[in-house]
Amino acid sequence: MTEKLHEFVESLKIANPEWVGDVKDALGEVTVTVPREHIFAACEFLRDSLGFDLLADLCGCDRGPEDDPRFEVNYHLFSTTHHKRLRLKVLLSEDDPQVESVTPLWKSADWHERETFDLVGVIFENHPDLRRILLPSDFDGHALRKDYPLRGYEPYSMN
């Protein structure tokens, strides 16, 4: 079921072996861990040469304050021609949660990246308009971090 996906990963490796870190095949899905500095180039190659023209989803995840690297950003790529899905993963440390934005490649990344910034606190470099999207602009902290309490620090007032 995942042979075709492994072929894509192979061509990614041939294009530049530095792009591909860890490759995981589980539950019929292939996850490629990409070093942070290469994510834009790897995405560009996947979009232009391997037909992954639609960014289905982009989401951040906090593994918890005691983990290092603490944050991960998952890119779920999809193709409207061959209908395969590939997950790219970027791992980020707590001190420097920055990764290059893929908005120039897919316009849909705009809001996904804003949401990830808002809720997890990952900073996307070169993003055209990195503002909070779901929470108010004066909100303190990032709600989806594991060390953020479920009910918040204090009752939030809209005033």
Partner 1 sequence: MTSAVETIAADFDAIDEPLETQMTLSMGPQHPSTHGVLRLDLRLDGELVVKAIPDIGYLHTGMEKLFEYKKYQQGIVITDRMDYLNPLGNNLVYVMAAEKLLQIEIPERAQVVRVLMCELQRIASHMVWLGTHCLDIGAMSVFFYCFRQREKILNLIEAASGGRMTPSYFRIGGLMMDLPAGFDRRVRQFLEDFPEGMQTFDTLVTGNRIWQSRTKDIGYISKEDAISWGLTGPCLRASGVDLDLRRDNPYTGYETYDFDIPVETGGDVWARFMVRMRELEESYKIVRQALDRLKPGPIKADAPKVVLPDRDDMRKHMDSLIHHFLIVAEGFNVPPGEVYFPIEASKGELGVYMKSNGGPKPERVHFRGPSFVNLAALPVMSEGEMVADVVAIIGSLDIVLGEIDR
CA–CA dist 139, 117 (Å, integer): 12
Q: Which two tokens stand for residue 127?
A: 């993003």
Shortest reach from residue 100's CB to partner 1, in Å: 18
Q: Toward partner 1, which CB reaches closer, 125 or 156?
A: 156
Q: Is 106 in the site for partner 1 (CB under 8 A)?
A: yes
Site residues for partner 1, window 134-153 (CB under 8 A)?
134-136, 143-144, 148, 150
Q: Which of 114, 155, 110, 112 is nearest to 137 (CA)?
A: 114
Where residue 115 falls (left for φ over 0; alpha for ψ -120 to 50; beta otherwise) is alpha
Binding interface with partner 1 (CB under 8 A): 26-27, 29, 31, 53-57, 59, 61-63, 74, 76, 78, 80, 83, 85, 87, 106-108, 110-112, 119, 132-136, 143-144, 148, 150
